[in-house]
Amino acid sequence: MTKEDEKQLGQEGIVDLEEPKKMTREDWRKKKELEEQRKLGNAPAEVDEEGKDINPHIPQYIASVPWYIDPSKRPTLKHQRPQSEKQTEFSAIGDWYKRGVQDKSVATKYRKGACENCGAMTHQKKDCLERPRKVGAKFSGTGIAPDEHQQIQLSMDYDGKRDRWNGYDPDEHMRIVEEYSKVDLAKRTLKAQKLQEELATGKLMDQTEREHNSEDEDEDKYADDIDMPGQNFDSKRRITVRNLRIREDIAKYLRNLDPNSAYYDPKTRAMRENPYSNTGKNPEEVGYAGDNFARYTGDTISMAQTQLFAWEAFDRGSDVHLQADPTKLELLHQSFKVKKEDFKEKQKESILEKYGGQEHLDAPPRELLLAQTEDYVEYSRHGAVIKGQEKAVARSKYEEDVLINNHTCIWGSYWKDGSWGYKCCHLLVKQSYCTGEAGKKTGNSTCVPFEEGLDDAEEEAPKTLLEMHQEKMKEKKKSKKHKKKDADSSDEEDESKKKEKLKRALTAEDQRLKQVAEMMQIDERKRPYNSLKEVREPTEEEMEAFRMKRSRPDDPMASFLNQ
């Protein structure tokens, strides 16, 4: 290569740096194809100025060089690497500003350039933190303060700036620990002295009172430990309330896995019935006997009755309340019960005296007279069933086991030859009267349902399907012949009428076209208003005439038709 070629290349390079050429569509397409080949690995990767391969999968916004870094637009990733000229040496992560004064001997004379107030060389009078003296150290020459450490400028890196423990002295924490240990030791000595004094005077406090006082002293110390999850701690009343069940407790729905046992509502987590009801266990001996068992035991029922009485009495003018005055309410309720029983007894005696019938009341109950059962049912004194009652079986909304007309079986209990019937008498007629064994012997061979026809005496011999089909076909042929004759005569008349109507419509269409042509020749300003508009709906014949007379300019035979 000659020197002239090198000069020419240099000039071209300068021109490229100053004014980059616009890429043509072909160059742009070749560039994209080369990028795809590099991503697939079919072409060698691009190389930067240091000889390192550039990953072809790097996004363009990362690989593109800003104009202010490299205007030559050469392939490089240098702008993404740390710039050496911008890197500075950071201080170590353990370096921090020194505090206090220097470990040197304190000067005894004032030095030139020192603080005029305290005499230290490390700051000036305006930056001095000591109390302003009446006579400064510059003039008195006494009380020279020691020199502080010279504070250097630390250049901390990212982690050093955000290290909140940098510069912390662990000895300070040890001083706090020693202080608290001294306080605890002083408390123990005071407590021992008080105990010795009580022993000496004979006024020894009870063990419970001492424990109570010790709890008061240590309350603040252990309050955080008491407030644990699952408990409600009240420092005033000094109690803890459980609000979560113990994890070892058996869940309600796991006590009896029988699907026919008590129902468990997962939404409200309620099981009202006893899950052990079908096992025969006593509810009082079981750990859990249902929500209703706990709800209706003890004084719950009497409490509810008392509350109901309080509401009714308040509505009638008595000023009573269950929580405000329970004693008054209880006495009033008891007197009300006594008066109610006396009233019922008087009413019963008056009715018996008037109408009689005391002998019927002295008779044993109907259950003992008419029926007996082995089912054990236990009642409370209020008449409520405690245990022994069977669970009601769910029934459908349709009637079941309804026997009519002396039948002992329901309809549909017998099947024969594609028909349902009664099993007790083998009758295939619904709602028929039961004939018992006699119906079974006859076999019901001649039995026909009521809906299919009349009585057996009036009914004729049944026809076969073939005979019924042949009769239907004959009737259809006869009807078709009559229809054809009527249709032929009517079609001839209709065709003649249609032709006459079409002729009239064609003549009317010719007149309309002539009228339209005449009106189009008149100036539209002189033309009558709505002269070309028709109000009534056209008939079928008029529409056919319009189609026949309509001019079609796109028809190639239109010129011949006009001729």
Residue 562, CA atoms < 13 Å, CB-side half-sphere: 9
| 222, part of any domain | yes
- What pLDDT, on the 0 to 100 scale, is given for residue 475? 85
C-alpha pair distances (Å), 388 with each of 185, 315, 378: 70, 39, 6
Identify the pLDDT of residue 125: 93
Q: Sign of the CA dihedral 510, 514, 520, 526? A: negative
Give residue 389's Cα distance to chain centre. 41
Give the pLDDT confidence score for residue 455 in this predicted structure: 47
Domain end point (choices 221, 242, 263)? 242
| Domain membership flag for residue 539 | yes
Contact 294, 278 (CB under 8 A): no
- Looking at 242, 274, 304, which one is the last position of a domain? 242
Q: Looking at residue 394, what is its pLDDT? A: 55
Same domain for 444 and 505, yes or no, is: no
Q: Are 240 and 232 in contact (CB under 8 A)?
A: yes
Answer whether residue 479 is part of any domain: no
Q: Write down the pLDDT at residue 12.
A: 43
What pLDDT was estimated at residue 11? Answer: 46
Report d(CA 2, CA 9) in Å as an integer: 11
pLDDT for 177 = 94
Is residue 182 in a domain? yes
pLDDT at residue 85, as a whole number: 67
Q: Is residue 514 part of a domain?
A: yes
How many CB atoms neighbour CB 77 within 10 A?
17
225 lies in a domain? yes
Q: Is residue 217 part of a domain?
A: yes
The tokens describing 114, both together, are 């020192």
- φ, ψ of residue 271 to 5 degrees: the values are -130, 100
- Per the listing, tokens 């019924």 go with 468
> 226: which residues sit within 8 A by CB, 6+ positions away?
233, 240
> What pTM does this model have?
0.24
Residues in the chain, pLDDT under 50:
1-3, 6-18, 208, 222-230, 391, 444-445, 447-459
CB-based contact 65:86 (threshold 8 Å): no
Structural domains of the chain, count: 3
Q: Give the per-residue pLDDT at 210.
A: 56
Specify if 279 maps to a domain. Answer: no
Label residues 136-160 b or e (16+ Cβ within 10 Å = b). bbbeeeeebbbbbeeeeeeebeeeb
For residue 233, what is the DSSP state? E
Structural domain harbouring 181: 172-242
